[in-house]
């Protein structure tokens, strides 16, 4: 049963050392109120799985600002200068992964697959320490599935059963992450009654959603 709650209530059980997936692409499609609530809570030593580290003061970048991340699975860190600096000085463990591979690892995690075979990264530093598999005389890297304790996601609209609709490019990693975490918390712009969303329009079924948060103006705390 989906529970409606505030952003603060939704993140209160996120504790130090947890693995968190966060939807978004350079801040677009990121659940800003949920991220801000986690910033206000001050939980540190988090493992974050996300497409990118966004920008200072924006999206996941706020968690970087507060040095709340200890390990980051991502495909791009160029928007936030502190990400690269923290990686170089050893403060932050960053696993840089090609974007398509990262998406497939998350999909594999949510689909119960043992991993993904990809030729991307063969002959580069990406292959270091990874198993190689030969299929039909072609060599692939075995990329392991990614899962998380919690997923913090953003959708455009939900019904009270948790069925979700996304809007345009704000969809990005959100549907994949909804399937790959033990607990899924979704911030939405609008909540309608059950049955108000046409079944054919549902992008993420409510079976994957645990908590809904009605989004609004981002609250930065006192």
pLDDT in tens, 137-172: 999 999 999 999 999 999 999 999 999 999 999 999
Kind of pairing between the strands at 132-135 and 148-159:
unpaired
CA atoms of 185 and 208, how far apart (whole Å): 10
Per-residue confidence band for 126, with pLDDT thresholds at 50, 70 and 90 = confident
Q: How many CB atoms lie within 10 A of CB 203?
A: 17
The answer, yes or no, to whether residue 48 has pLDDT greater than 70, is yes
Question: What's 197's DSSP letter?
Answer: S
Q: Which residue has the tokens 């063969």?
A: 122
* 222 pLDDT tier (thresholds 50, 70, 90): very low
Quote the DSSP letter at residue 22. E
Binning pLDDT at 50, 70 and 90, where does residue 221 land? Answer: very low
Where do the domains of the chain lie? 3-113+146-214
- CATH for 3-113+146-214? 3.40.1080.10
Residue 197 has which token pair? 């969303």
Least Cα distance to 164 among 141, 192, 183 occurs for 192
Give the pLDDT confidence score for residue 18 in this predicted structure.
97
- Residue 186 CA to residue 195 CA, distance in Å, equals 19
N-term to C-term CA, the chain: 33
Name the 3-class secondary structure at 104. Answer: helix
Distance from C-alpha of 176 to C-alpha of 204, rounded to nearest angstrom: 9
- The SS3 assignment for 82 reads helix
Report the chain's mean pLDDT, rounded to a whole number: 94
Burial class of 155 by CB neighbour count within 10 A (0 to 12, 13 to 18, 19+): buried
Residue 217 scores a pLDDT above 60: no
Q: For residue 218, is pLDDT > 80? A: no
% of the chain exceeding 90 in pLDDT: 94
């Amino acid at each position: 049963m989906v529970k409606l709650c505030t952003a603060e209530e939704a993140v209160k059980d996120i504790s130090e050392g947890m693995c968190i997936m966060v939807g978004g692409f350079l801040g677009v499609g990121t659940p800003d109120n949920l991220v801000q609530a986690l910033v206000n809570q001050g939980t540190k030593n988090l493992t974050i799985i996300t497409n990118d580290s966004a920008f200072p003061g924006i999206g996941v970048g706020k968690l970087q600002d507060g040095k709340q991340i200890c390990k980051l699975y991502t495909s791009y860190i160029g928007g936030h200068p502190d990400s690269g600096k923290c990686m170089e000085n050893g403060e932050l463990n960053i696993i840089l992964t090609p974007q398509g591979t990262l998406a497939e690892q998350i999909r594999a995690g949510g689909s119960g697959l043992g991993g993904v075979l990809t030729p991307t990264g063969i002959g580069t530093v990406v292959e270091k320490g990874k198993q190689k598999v030969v299929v039909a005389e072609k060599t692939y890297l075995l990329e392991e599935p990614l899962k998380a304790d919690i997923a913090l996601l953003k959708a455009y609209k939900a019904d009270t059963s948790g069925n979700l609709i996304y809007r345009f490019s704000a969809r990005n990693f959100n549907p994949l992450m909804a399937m790959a975490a033990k607990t899924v918390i979704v911030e939405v712009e609008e909540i309608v009654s059950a049955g108000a969303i046409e079944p054919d329009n549902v992008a993420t079924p409510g079976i994957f959603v645990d908590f809904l948060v009605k989004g609004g103006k981002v609250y930065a705390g006192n």
